């Protein structure tokens, strides 16, 4: 299977959903986005590395990087290699002096390590097809930014409301929330659209 390279394009949170964050991966030289819901601690670990902040004591992912460096193990790439029941699965591809090893990892942890090591992030086309969102090509070359922004509230009846909308209305709504960078809401809309296919 051909690997598709991704980069982190956004990290956002929802005011109304406690500990609910989304990291949005964008296809390098492409228009597809892959939003992944992660927990608050994982989002913080990614944000700290993206912003190049130096905590007074090493965080867990910093400790892992230091440990790997001490034993001459390098993180070459991470691969988001599976999606089952809405859960993404990843592996770390590591090399040492004598071996190449693939290690199973939660996707949020893999991303936190990828940012620290500066290594590439990959996935496969079937994962982008089933869980990705296609962005419209506006003709503008957009600079990669990683905003941490507050999102519009997602009501508890959000999913019920979505079930009452037509497919055309859902696609229009999806474009609207993507324009607002409300990726948490976009995930729910995308799932409702996929459910109807």
Phi, psi of 160 (to 5 degrees): -65, -40
Q: How far is CA 3 from CA 6, 33, 59, in A?
A: 10, 15, 30
Cβ(6)–Cβ(28) below 8 Å: yes
Residue 1 confidence (pLDDT): 83
> Which of the residue ranges 1-5, 119-123, 168-172 has the most confident prediction, judged by mean pLDDT?
119-123
First vs last C-alpha separation in the chain: 24
Q: What is the pTM of this model?
A: 0.74
Residue 21 confidence (pLDDT): 86
Architecture of domain 3-152: Roll (3.10)
Mean pLDDT to the nearest integer, 71-87? 95
Q: Go through 84-107 and write b for each residue having 16 or more CB atoms within 10 A of its CB, e for each that does not.
A: eeeebbbbbbbeeeeeeeeeebeb
Distance between alpha carbon 189 and the CA centroid of its chain, in Å? 17
């Amino acid at each position: 299977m051909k690997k598709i390279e991704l980069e982190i394009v956004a990290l956002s949170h929802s005011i109304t959903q406690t500990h609910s964050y989304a990291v949005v991966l964008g296809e390098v030289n492409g228009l597809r986005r892959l939003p992944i819901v992660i927990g608050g601690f994982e989002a913080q670990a990614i944000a700290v590395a993206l912003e190049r902040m130096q905590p007074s004591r090493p965080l867990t992912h910093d400790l892992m990087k230091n440990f790997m460096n001490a034993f001459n193990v390098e993180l070459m790439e991470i691969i988001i290699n599976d999606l089952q029941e809405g859960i993404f699965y990843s592996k770390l591809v590591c090399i040492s002096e004598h071996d190449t090893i693939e290690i199973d990892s939660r996707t949020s942890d893999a991303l936190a390590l990828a940012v620290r090591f500066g290594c590439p992030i990959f996935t496969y086309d079937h994962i982008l097809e089933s869980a990705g969102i296609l962005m419209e090509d506006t003709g503008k070359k957009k600079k990669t930014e990683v905003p941490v922004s507050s999102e519009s509230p997602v009501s508890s009846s959000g999913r019920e409301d979505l079930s009452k909308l037509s497919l055309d209305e859902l696609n229009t709504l999806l474009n609207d929330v993507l324009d607002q960078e409300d990726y948490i809401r976009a995930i729910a809309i995308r799932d409702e659209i996929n459910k109807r296919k």
